[in-house]
Amino acid sequence: MKRWVLLLAAGLVVAGGAAAWVVWKSRPAGDLLLSGTIEARDADIGSLVGGRVAQVHVDEGASVRAGQPIVTLEPDLLDRQIREQEARVGSARAALTKALNGPRREETERARVEWQNAEKERVRQEALLRQGLAPQQQYDNAAAAARMARQSYDELARGNRPEDIASARASLAEQEGQLAYLHRQREELVVRAPADGVVATMDMRPGDLVAANQPVATLLEPGEIWVRVYVPEPRLGLVKLNEPAEISVDTFPDRTFPGKVVEIRQRSEYTPRNVQTLEQRGDQVFGVKVAIDPAPELKPGMAALVRLRR
């Protein structure tokens, strides 16, 4: 038969002039029976961009799958920006193609003919200068025109400089990056569930304005549920990581749900006021997280009893 040991500490506590007796009670070694509240991982989901709500796809309390749309924002303004940016990308791509192809053959041939004509005029002016029939200035002008025509022809014959091609390529990359950014924003107009879960809170209606980075709903992941319990320091050595646990709730008094210890905190604390344990509140305790195997019957907020068998 299990025996209870009642230890009375004759300690007088004085608070505000009043005296009280502190009573400490412990249980004999055996199964650990701890109580706590079921918790679940939740996530605030929203959009990186703001806008006006166009459509709400689910209601509060609905079960959703990963990737399922939750809220859609109006795309009109962003679609216009995308079309304008697509035009800029097209222009930059055409400029790069032009730089890569270089001048057209007709342009090069025309420059060659202009140079040859200018060179003929220079030769003619040189002959006139030697005969004394043309002033020096007239010959100098013809020579300068011939040199400029030759330089223009040589430039076209060599094609575009590597620096011009690199500049055109960089300009296209910049415009394409901006277009990709706008498309990414376009995707953000549809807020999707990041994982399977249940919509815990949803207070959106078509026409509502949503700011960027503002949550539009809170999603609970039923597959990630646990109970946080507190183990008195004298019995902490009885708790091991990954050891099995049995969880029961008032709603299903004849059932137990399997789980296991997944975390033991490294620092002690005083039991929170909203947690009841089988030990005295004043004892030093360590928080222990007990993961529960996924069970649709269990809901966050349920009071749970955890038994660790010894």
CB 39 within 8 A of CB 300: yes
CB 186 within 8 A of CB 75: yes
CB 281 within 8 A of CB 302: no
Token output for 216? 């539009």
Does pTM surpass 0.85?
Answer: no
Number of other residues whose CB lies within 10 A of the CB of residue 185: 18
Domains by residue range for the chain, with CATH: 30-41+221-308 (2.40.30.170), 45-75+188-218 (2.40.50.100), 79-185 (no CATH)
pLDDT digit string (tens) for 215-264?
999 998 877 889 999 888 888 888 999 999 999 999 998 899 999 999 98
Q: Can you tell me the distance from the alpha carbon of 240 to that of 243, in angstroms, rounded to the nearest whole number?
A: 6
Per-residue pLDDT of the chain (310 residues; tens, 9 = 90+): 333 333 323 332 333 333 222 233 344 457 888 889 998 888 899 999 999 999 999 998 888 999 999 999 999 999 999 999 999 999 999 999 988 887 777 777 888 888 889 888 888 888 888 888 888 999 889 899 989 988 887 777 777 778 888 999 999 999 999 999 999 999 999 999 998 888 988 888 999 999 999 999 999 887 788 999 988 888 888 899 999 999 999 999 889 999 999 998 888 777 665 555 554 544 678 889 999 988 878 888 889 999 998 7
CB 288 within 8 A of CB 228: yes
Q: Which amino acid type is present at position 289? A: K
